[in-house]
Each structure stands twice: as C-alpha cells, then as structure tokens.
Structure 1
C-alpha cells in the first residue's frame, strides 16, 4: 500500500547521500545498552514536562519553519533497515539556531494489517517521543517539538531520539519486526519536498479512516455515492490493490465494481 511512497522517500535520501548531505547511524547497540541500563525506566511517554518558551533551547518544526511527519508500514522487509537513523541537516548539539525546519519519517516492517500498523506507529511515536526535555505539540500531519535548555546541556540529540523511537516501535507495536527513522533539519525546501512525496500515502490513510473494518478483514465503504460519482475514486483505486473494499453486499474490485 505504501511501498511506492517508501521507495520514493528512499530515492530522495539516496540523492542527498550522493551530495554528501546524509549521515546514517546504526543505533542497535545504543538501544541495547539503554535497555540494560535503564530497565525500561526512561522510555518516555510518562507525564512529559511542559516546556515553556523561556525554557526552550530550540524549536523543531515550528509552523513558520516547516515540518513533515509520517509513519508508514510495509510487509516488504527489504524496504526497512532495522535500527538505522538517518539525518540530513544539523543535530541539536551542532547548531546555535533557535528554530529549525523538521521532518520525521518512520518505516516499519510488519506482519499485520498495514494501515492499522501505520496508525499504531503514529500513536506510539507521539507518546514515546515525549520525555523530560522534549515536548511535542499536537498538529495533524505535522511535527512541532521543543527541546529544553536543560536537555540540550545534557547532550540531547536526534540520534538518541531516533534510537528511542525505534526501540518503542519494535517493542510496543504489534507485528513490527524492524523499524528505522529518518530526520531532516536542513531547510524548509527539503522538508517541503518530502511533504509532497508523502502526501499520496496520507491520502490513502485518510481514506481508510472513513472505512469500517469488518471481522473478515474487508473494509466497508459507507458513503452513499456510487463509485463512479465519488471524488475519492482515484484514491480508492490505489487502495484496492492491497485491501478488499465492500459496499453493501458487493465486493469492489480494483479497476471496476
């Protein structure tokens, strides 16, 4: 369902890598060390502090700077490099800026329903990202975060944030077997380019949210419009390639009724 979008995102990052703009980190060892040292005590998501403006070191993804966020699942294990964090742009310890554009993209390989896994990924990422020193503002399809002055002094980094998010996805998201996270802080133009790529996947997720999932795994379309009249038909046509949509007592096949 989202494989084409994932490939397009990966191609975009490969292009930036060829321009020597990309850094990649294998955080599997960091995750294991953190797990052993913390005993699960520092996983985030438990009563995160409110970071006031005067206590903020940097804002990521402020509406005036630009932001993009998406979580996508796939059944194709070749599309996900488990434990990898990718970064384009400065990390928190490397900049004196008070505001940066921000994109956060997560991929996960799963054994379950792709759409439901993607929604659960998004929920877990929002909850588990937040910890002392890092706060998220709730904005649909965007990500707006604050890093506190104290957290910055303690060495808060996107590499470490990515490790925490990967650990959360792998341990808490049912059916997930591998996950990776990609960040961009380089420019509004880069973030906007990614946002344009992920819009196709977002349209599919929005459409699926209007369906009711039945016990047999099919999705029920509840709109009163005939498929030939519905403005959402182009989105449905792509969704039908990977799921079964039911309208009343009819199974709607890809490419026709």
Structure 2
C-alpha cells in the first residue's frame, strides 16, 4: 500500500504541474534502441565510454554541489504500479536551455522480479551509466546528482529524451534477469519544483533512507564500529574500506 500511495502522489504532482502550465514532456521508450542511438550518432554500450569530461569540454552540467539535485533509484515488486517505458520530463528540453549549469533531479522506478536477488545491491550504482554513454559522465556526490554532457554531444542533439532512453536501455541490458518494468521521471531548471517533488516523494526517500541506515548499522556491527557519525564523514573511511575488502575476499573463499 505504501508504494501505491507514494506513486499515486507522484502522478498527481505531474498532473498538477501540467495544470499550472509547467513545461512537461512525455515520451515512450523506443522499441528499436540500437537504431535510435545510431540515428543520433551517440554511442551507448555497456562499459565502453569510461571517459572524464573536463570543464573546458563541458557543454552542460546537470545538478552539482551548488544546485538543487537528486538521484532516486527505487525498486519495487508491484509491476502493475508502473507505466513501463514511460519517460516524463518536467522542465524544458536541452535545446531550449541557455544556461551551462542547471538544477536537475532523476527518479527511476524499477519493478523487480526477485527481491532477494544479489544484483539488487547493484541497482543503485549509477557508475555503469556514466561508463556507457558517449560524452556523458557522472561525478560522485552522495545522494545527489552531478553530471556533465560534452559540448560535442550537445551539437549532435543529445537531450533528456536521449538520456532517459539510454538509461532504460542500459538497465534492461545489465539487469535483464530481474527487471520487469521501468519508468523514469526527470525534473530540470526549476529548484522550487524539485524541492516540492522531494516533499511529495518523501515516502519513497524515507523508505530508502531506512534501508540505507540498516545497512550502515549492520556494517558497523560487523566491523565492531562504535562511532556515531556516518561513513561519508568518517576519518577512518580508508581503513574501513580495506577491512571491507578483506571480509569480502574471506566470504568468497568460504563459498568455494
């Protein structure tokens, strides 16, 4: 019931934005992804474009430290709650944006076949997206979104529809054995709308935070950590990471 209520509020929010004459674009995922990418002449392939886009090469920055931004990847089991392949963009398309840095948020809803599958842990890692789209790179900022699109790709016509299409395609390829349905929502250029959306979607973010805190507590118990602060600001983060590598290696050895 929680997921149904939360997603219902998000759909109501989108309708409200349309009624306020906010620019809202709706697309559906292309059936022939490869042909779509080839037509745009922008490469999309798993782990093929591990590039760092320098400041002088950047045509547009999405999110970042001084912008309102978020990245939410929310797995659920109720396939019927999602409009599979739907892409919703609240805000202008890239070709109508004059700034070089904008507020940006992304919500990816994913219906999962098997909630116990080990691959679930990898769903929240967006690094593979950064490594799989030509001229697009993501910078690491906890629970925020910060990415760069190269000037060269913007000249080719890179836009939010293309980015959403690429994300859906890459998730379906990488997690083909567990993904049933997906829906993506992007918000850009308006910090107030992003703030309001985060309030509306707070049920989802609260649930994700609870899961994250549980993982953190479990990990602290496992390594006998008594510090009150979170891992992100811990001065012993490097040492902890080394311990984690040893424990992972030990677990793999025990499984053999």
> How many residues of Structure 1 are paired with residues of Structure 2 in the alignment?
214
In structure 1, distance between residues paired with 2:171 and 2:92: 24
Deviation at 1:204, TM superposition (A): 2.3
- Higher strand proportion: 1
Which residue of structure 2 lines up, in the alignment, with residue 168 of structure 1? Answer: 170
In structure 2, distance between residues paired with 1:8 and 1:205: 21
Which residue of structure 2 lines up, in the alignment, with residue 181 of structure 1? Answer: 184
Residues 15 and 119 of structure 1, relative CA distance in 2, 3 Å threshold: farther
Asked if structure 2 preserves the Cα contact closer than 8 Å seen for 1:67 and 1:101, the reply is: yes
Q: Secondary structure at the match of 2:183?
A: strand
Asked if structure 1 preserves the Cα contact closer than 8 Å seen for 2:44 and 2:166, the reply is: no
Q: Secondary structure at the match of 2:148?
A: strand
Deviation at 1:30, TM superposition (A): 4.9
Where does 1:109-120 land on structure 2 (aligned, <5 Å)?
A: 109-113=111-115, 119-120=121-122
Q: With CA pairs under 8 Å and 6+ residues apart, which has the higher RCO, 1 or 2?
A: 2
Over the aligned positions, Cα root-mean-square deviation in angstroms equals 3.0
For normalisation by structure 2, the TM-score amounts to 0.72
Residues 212 and 64 of structure 1, relative CA distance in 2, 3 Å threshold: closer
Which residue of structure 2 lines up, in the alignment, with residue 201 of structure 1? Answer: 207
Asked if structure 2 preserves the Cα contact closer than 8 Å seen for 1:104 and 1:183, the reply is: yes
In structure 2, distance between residues paired with 1:189 and 1:58: 20
Deviation string 1:100-156 (CA, Å, 9 cap, x unpaired) is: 100011011111117966643222x43124422111001111110111111111111
Deviation at 1:82, TM superposition (A): 1.3
- Higher helix proportion: 2
Which residue of structure 2 lines up, in the alignment, with residue 13 of structure 1? Answer: 14
Deviation at 1:79, TM superposition (A): 1.7
For normalisation by structure 1, the TM-score amounts to 0.72
Unaligned runs of 5+ in 1: 214-220, 225-257
Deviation string 1:1-22 (CA, Å, 9 cap, x unpaired) is: 8614333323322321333432
